[in-house]
Chain A
Amino acid sequence: MFIISIVAAFAAGMIFDNIYKKRWQTLFFEKTDELLKGKTNYDIIYLGNSRVHFAINPYYVDSVTKLNSYNFGFGGADAEEIMLTSNIYLNQHKAPKLVIISLDNGALLKNNILQTRFHYLYFLHNDTIKKHMNQAGFFTSLIKVFPFTKYSFFDEYNRTSLFVKGKSYPLFEHNIYKGFLNIHQHTHTKAIGIYNAEEESGEISDNAIAYFRNCITALQQKGSMVIFVSPPVRSSPAKKQNAFDKKADSIFSSLAIEFHLKHLHFEDDKIYENEYFVDDIHFNEPGSRLYSQNLGDSINLILDSILKSP
């Protein structure tokens, strides 16, 4: 009886694995595949959350810098996931010349985002991922032996994706490119609104600061230049800074000073009008194009100054 059930579970698990990868957030799988198995050693990589994933288009940055870059931003990524992404990349690839870390104050909160990153359960053969997912509370050894058990950990939203086909992305000029995704071609402020004017608050996580430190240290030890970027925000209505924001900003500034990092401040840049945003912090496609071009220009200036310095 148990043997029949276990065999059936293995078979069902294999079918579900195939369906899940095709139906849900294929870009997450593509990026993680690129991270683990990609053969290309990129000159620049971008790390961060949805403010990287939806915002930095390597097509436009590369056209300005003439370098080869990849967007490794994951929506909702916290400090731990940023460090995880960076460490995996360094283990599998040659260290990049430049690493752009896009800063979001939310990354300093106790998010435990890995507890909802079920797609990493397909990559437990990687020791780094296995270690972090184990720390997040998953029974990784059990899942490795009985892969179908990963579905026991899924939340309802992810289970639904096994049976409900998601929307396909519309294709227009360069809106999906080397890890970047932006499907909002011309939507603006009064549209969907993923993130709107809520004051970020909460407790700063000491672990988050430690993860940032580890990430920067590992990158610098491998010879990469790390640049902090504070990305643009919608200028009107202006997002108010509360005590949490001020504390988070000061932590990032301290880290930049401690590790001698360049810190690009786009948050006060007035050229990003409301028409470039779908909400307070996420760009539409024209907005991401403008930002990527400007980011490329800034990177060029930094690289030029390095070449010219004695």
Chain B
Amino acid sequence: MLFNSIEFIIFFPLVTVLYFLVPYKFRWLLLLLASCFFYAAFIPSYLLILFFLIIIDYFAGLLIEIKLNKKFWLTISIIANVLLLGLFKYYDFFISNINQITGSDFILLHWILPIGLSFHTFQSMSYTIEVYRGRQKAIRHAGYYALYVMFYPQLVAGPIERPQNLFPQFFKEQKFSSQKLYEGLRLMAWGFFKKLVIADRIGHFSDAVFSNPTQAGTLTTWLAIFFFSIQIYADFSGYTDIAIGAARCMGINLSLNFNRPYQSANIREFWRRWHISLSSWFRDYVYIPLGGNRKGRLRKDLNLLITFIVSAFWHGAGWTFIVWGLLHGIYTLIYDNIKKYFAISIPAFFAWLLTCTCVAFAWIFFRASSINNAVQIIYKSVDFKAISFKNILEVPGANIELGNFSLAFSFCMIAYMFLIEKFTTPKMFELIFKKNMDIFIFSSSILLIIFFGVFQKSSFIYFQF
């Protein structure tokens, strides 16, 4: 079920109302059934895959805790999760590359990736690893454990929660709070605004340019790269806001996932602010176990690159994602080494501009359908002889034209989004402005959604991961 659908508009208030009406001891069951229903709206049979994961990791957790060959059971849990992910997501990529290189003809599976599988597996592995490390007690109640994996607001695209955050909240009886309800709804409205008014509007244009790079002009290409950079932020952070807001209405706090990443002054800061739950997962479960920065400079750099490449691979089975990850790894290495060996300080504005430019450049690979497509986009963007202010808003091959009004409106909304986020705390639960401003933000979000939302159903970008 998509958040931006009529079904969710009915589902969400119903589940939230029932949550507070149902006796506390049955709330886990209500949420679990609701989450199953939510997931089944995509492909019902894939619930079986989730249940398989849940069973494996539930028992693995118990066996790890009673110290019955705990390393073995941790390995089983990790292998099961990685194998499942590998089969659905990476098998065809590896086999098709092998076929291409060796001329062989191994069979491809063509299995559709279960939606949100990358998120479930990481969340599940997080649980068994934390139990193994002694930082989390194994959960005896299978229902609560299943709910941890399947909690619907964060089921398909995160945030990737740690067990220490979710379980105590599940076990605590959440009392109805009008304040939390209001905060949750406000955050959801803001998320819908980002998704429907900004991301889906500018997405059409950037999609058209990336699909027809040879038809677009240089300035058109720049605009498309800029728009995609904004689109992916508005889309993903919008989804996260809706997820966090929906959970907040029930009194449950999900982790912060985005903290104004485009305000970053350097690449390290960017990764502290972008998709925080994923980057912290890789830091804690890949980078640090590899040795982190404890084994010398060269090893630290290598660990960093490996972490970024694995992270890139998590996003998708494709060379473009690997290049994207590699770029970010290289950016970070360059930044670290410049910072360490050259005491260069550049004005804050230029530091910010450089960071955003590097990130936008890397997004080209993230968005492109292939390396060749990415190269075409890059070539078009540096074809300075072809710069012309005529027909910037046209993409002839795709038969799309962004009108002047749409362009101006899109820029206004993007500016509005960044301005509001600059003056609010990350989860928008508090506002630095006077209290009246939150009324303004809430009302304006709703009005903008009604009058300017793009309601042709489109899924969230990170659903494909």
Please tell me if the beta carbons of A8 and B452 are within 8 angstroms of each other in the complex. no
Please tell me if the beta carbons of A160 and B453 are within 8 angstroms of each other in the complex. no
Chain A residues 1 to 40 lying within 8 A of chain B, measured CB to CB, are 1-2, 4-5, 8-9, 12, 16
CA distance A159 to B456 in the complex (A): 14
B451 closest partner in A (C-beta) = A151
Please tell me if the beta carbons of A151 and B450 are within 8 angstroms of each other in the complex. yes
Stretch at the interface among B15-23, B313-321, B440-448: B440-448
Please tell me if the beta carbons of A9 and B403 are within 8 angstroms of each other in the complex. no
A304 at the interface (CB under 8 A from B): no
Q: Nearest Cβ distance between residue A25 and chain B, in whole angstroms?
A: 16
Task: Collect the chain B residues with CB atoms within 8 Å of residue A5's CB.
Answer: 442-443, 446-447
Q: Nearest Cβ distance between residue A121 and chain B, in whole angstroms?
A: 14
Task: Collect the chain B residues with CB atoms within 8 Å of residue A153's CB.
Answer: 455
Chain A residues 145 to 159 lying within 8 A of chain B, measured CB to CB, are 148-149, 151-153, 156-157, 159
Interface string of B423-465 (1 = CB under 8 A from A): 0000000000000000100110011011111110000000000
CA distance A200 to B405 in the complex (A): 32
Please tell me if the beta carbons of B443 and A157 are within 8 angstroms of each other in the complex. no
Known: A1-B442, A5-B446, A156-B201. A16 touches B406 (CB 8 A): no
A163 at the interface (CB under 8 A from B): yes
Please tell me if the beta carbons of B443 and A156 are within 8 angstroms of each other in the complex. no
Task: Collect the chain B residues with CB atoms within 8 Å of residue A1's CB.
Answer: 182, 439, 442-443
A148 closest partner in B (C-beta) = B450
Interface string of A249-289 (1 = CB under 8 A from B): 00000000000000000000000000000000000000000
CA distance A151 to B403 in the complex (A): 18
A161 closest partner in B (C-beta) = B405
CA distance A8 to B440 in the complex (A): 11
Known: A9-B450, A151-B450. A157 touches B439 (CB 8 A): no
- Max chain A C-beta neighbours (<10 A), residue from B409, B450, B452: B450
Interface size class of A (residues with CB under 8 A): 20 to 34
Known: A1-B182, A152-B453, A152-B455. A157 touches B447 (CB 8 A): no
A164 at the interface (CB under 8 A from B): yes
Pick from A4, A139, A148, A156: contact of B451, CB below 8 A.
A148
Interface string of B390-421 (1 = CB under 8 A from A): 00000000000001111001000000000000
CA distance A16 to B450 in the complex (A): 12
Q: Nearest Cβ distance between residue B279 and chain A, in whole angstroms?
A: 35
Pick from B201, B403, B409, B451: contact of A152, CB below 8 A.
B451
Known: A9-B450, A152-B451. A163 touches B405 (CB 8 A): yes
Please tell me if the beta carbons of B447 and A8 are within 8 angstroms of each other in the complex. yes
Task: Collect the chain A residues with CB atoms within 8 Å of residue B406's CB.
Answer: 156, 160
Known: A1-B182, A1-B439, A152-B455. A9 touches B447 (CB 8 A): yes
Q: Nearest Cβ distance between residue A119 and chain B, in whole angstroms?
A: 17
Please tell me if the beta carbons of A157 and B403 are within 8 angstroms of each other in the complex. yes
Interface string of A161-172 (1 = CB under 8 A from B): 001100000000
Pick from A2, A8, A16, A164: contact of B405, CB below 8 A.
A164
CA distance A4 to B446 in the complex (A): 10
Please tell me if the beta carbons of B403 and A164 are within 8 angstroms of each other in the complex. yes
Please tell me if the beta carbons of B439 and A152 are within 8 angstroms of each other in the complex. no
B406 closest partner in A (C-beta) = A156
Chain B interface (Cβ within 8 Å of chain A)? 6, 182, 201, 403-406, 409, 439, 442-443, 446-447, 449-455
26 inter-chain pairs at a CB distance below 8 angstroms, sorted by A residue, are A1-B182, A1-B439, A1-B443, A2-B446, A4-B439, A5-B446, A8-B443, A8-B447, A9-B447, A9-B450, A9-B451, A12-B451, A139-B6, A148-B451, A149-B450, A151-B450, A151-B452, A152-B453, A152-B455, A159-B405, A160-B403, A160-B405, A160-B406, A163-B405, A163-B409, A164-B404
Q: Which 5 A-B pairs have the closest CB atoms?
A: A5-B446, A160-B405, A5-B443, A151-B451, A160-B403
